[in-house]
Structure 1
Amino acid sequence: MTATLPFTPPLALASLSGEADADWARAGAEYAGAAFLGGIALDADSRAAARELVDRDRTEFLPDDPLAFIDRELEALAETPIQPAFNVRSATVDPVVDAARVCRDREAYLEINAHCRQDELCAVGCGETLLRDGERLARYVDRAAATGATVGVKVRAEVPGVDLPDLARGLESAGADFVHVDAMDSESVIADVVDATDLFVIANNGVRGGETVREYVDYGADAVSVGRPSDNPVVLERVRDAVARQLGLEASG
């Protein structure tokens, strides 16, 4: 059975490399409807880049077997009342397809990372480099969606030469179910993406309370996500309650 959008409450925990695992998701389940674990590097080139990031003191998940790691982490959330998802990075498409099958079988979403802007990842064709190559990104989506998994893409605004609404249309045509938009300082891009597609749109960046939630909801976002403060219950409770007010839902707790 494939996972189905939307999730309730429409608040997600956004992936944090090296930190967003099953324990992290379980801790936030009281507040959020979905948790994006990862990101995790899948293929040889992306894993080499991730090791370089670790060498300069970034935290990364680098298990011996990335697919087995995804499966274990999702299995650990089987009894947790939260929609799981996994953010993945790869310079090649086949490992993304393999990860999609794992996510499908665990009723989790697969999120393709076209967001990270670290030089090491971009140099091998991951993250923001993938965002700049809409045709290749659409192939990733097409192949992953063909497995029957629920597939989306994490993107960022303010990348020169990238028209996010146009890109989102291409992702939708390729079979994407959702797009997770780091709006940066261009919050109105959410409205542009909403107007351009029928994708489920998750708005990210600066979500800390009622003001940001209201702004993103006014722009048409279907859900919002919390990044760095996703381990802070005070922030999560405040955002959860704001989501309930703005979208007419009862806060779960």
Structure 2
Amino acid sequence: MFEPRLALASLSGEADSEWAKNGAEWAGAAFLGGICLDEPTREAAREMVADRDRSEFLPDDPVAFVDGELAALSGVDVRPGINVRSTTPGPVREVAAVAADHGAIVEINAHCRQEELCAAGAGETLLREPDRLEPLVRAAAESGADVSVKLRTELDGVDLGDVARRVEAAGADALHVDAMDSEARVADLADATDLFLIANNGVRGRESVREYLNYGADAVSVGRPSDDPAVLERVADAVDEWFAERGVSAEAPR
């Protein structure tokens, strides 16, 4: 899906093409966004900006914005992805077609836990209602783009193995797993599906990289410190070391 097996994880209002360019020396992929696509999610983002002074991407035309940001990464040695929030398949299908034209990954956000987005029916609520998540994945996959689903592992009452199998059947290619305080859940997901697994949360260096890869992750991603070259270099070196010990290049398919 990408190489080397280090990704930059999306940061609301911050993860744009310039951010991706700055991390491209170390990363194989960079997930821009998240971008709210339909009116319920865009209204939720406007509320978060107004009420909590959050940073959010709120372009007048989300599709044109995505097209421009992906075009800005043409010729940059990093595979772009675009993290999107939506409650309806139509806008996802439209953005996925643009992503496919750029060779980019579409990442369906089933991860955000902000109250406003959850009230709109987006983010982590989709993990509790996979019947609504599946059409979003299917819409993206039918457009010809590679599809990732970003999710979190610490939700009570959610059968993540079932969610993973359902999104895989709907056409997903990858899971981007935020394993906050539940790192071993990566192993459960590795056993549940054949999806490419990107492990996220607390990835800072050798110890965290080895833990996630030993649990069965295919790659790791860096979130908040993704603008810190020292962290990215440490993580990139640790990824290379882990694969080299197994006689496998971090840039070769597993």
Q: Quick check: 2:110–2:151 contact (8 Å CA) kept in 1?
A: yes
- Secondary structure at the counterpart of residue 208 of structure 1: coil
Cα distance, 1:250 vs. partner? 6.9
Counterpart secondary structure, 1:102:
helix
* 2:48 counterpart of 1:48: no
| SS of aligned partner of 2:92 | helix
Q: Does 1:96 align with 2:85?
A: no
Which residue of structure 1 lines up, in the alignment, with residue 26 of structure 2? 31
**Structure 2 residue matching 1:238: 3-state secondary structure:** helix
Question: Greater shift after overlay, 31-40 or 128-137?
Answer: 128-137
Distance in 1, Cα, partners of 2:239 & 2:7: 11
Q: Tell me the residue number matched to 1:203.
A: 199
TM-score normalised to the size of structure 1? 0.95
Q: Deviations over 1:132-175 (max 9, x none)?
A: 11111111111211111111100001112111111101111111
Structure 1 equivalent of residue 15 of structure 2: 20
Partner of 2:157: 161
What is the SS of the residue equivalent to 2:235? helix
1:218 Cα offset (Å): 0.5
Q: Which moved more, 1:223-232 or 1:156-165?
A: 156-165
Per mean C-alpha deviation after superposition, the further-off stretch among 159-168 and 184-193 is: 159-168
Question: Does 2:222 align with 1:222?
Answer: no
Counterpart pick for 1:87 among 69, 80, 83? 83
For residue 242 of structure 1, what is the aligned residue in structure 2? Answer: 238
User: What amino acid sits opposite 2:140 in the alignment?
Assistant: A
Once residues 91 and 250 of structure 2 are traced to their aligned partners in structure 1, the CA distance between those partners, rounded to angstroms, is: 39
Q: CA RMSD in A?
A: 1.0
For 1:22-79, what per-residue CA distance to the aligned partner results, in whole angstroms no more than 9, with x for missing partners?
A: 0000000001000000001001110010011111110000010000000000000001
**Is 1:188–2:184 an aligned residue pair?**
yes
Identity %: 64
Secondary structure class of the residue paired with 2:199: strand
- Determine the C-alpha separation between the residues in 2 that align with 1:241 and 1:87: 26
Aligned to 1:136: 132
Match of 2:66 in 1: 70
Distance 2:4 2:109 in 1: 23
Q: Residue type matched to 1:54 in 2?
A: V
Q: Per-residue CA shift, 1:71-108, capped at 9, x if unaligned?
A: 00000000100000000001211101111111001110
Secondary structure in 1 aligned to 2:143?
A: coil
Aligned partner of 2:113 in structure 1 is 117
Give the Cα–Cα distance (whole angstroms) in 2 for the partners of residues 93 and 53 of structure 1: 23
Equivalents in 2 of 1:60, 1:219: separation in Å?
33
Q: Secondary structure at the match of 1:112?
A: strand
Match for 2:215: what amino acid?
A: Y
**AA paired with 1:181?**
V
Question: Which portions of structure 1, spanning 4 or more consecutive aligned residues, are displaced by more than 6 angstroms?
Answer: none
Letter in 2 for 1:63: P
**For residue 26 of structure 1, what is the amino acid of its counterpart?**
K
1: distance between equivalents of 2:58 and 2:250? 39
Q: Give the aligned length.
A: 246
User: How has the CA–CA distance of structure 1 residues 127 and 250 changed in structure 2, closer, same or farther, with 3 Å as cutoff?
Assistant: closer
Unaligned runs of 5+ in 1: none
SS class of match (1:96) = helix
Distance 1:121 1:8 in 2: 32
Partner of 1:9: 4
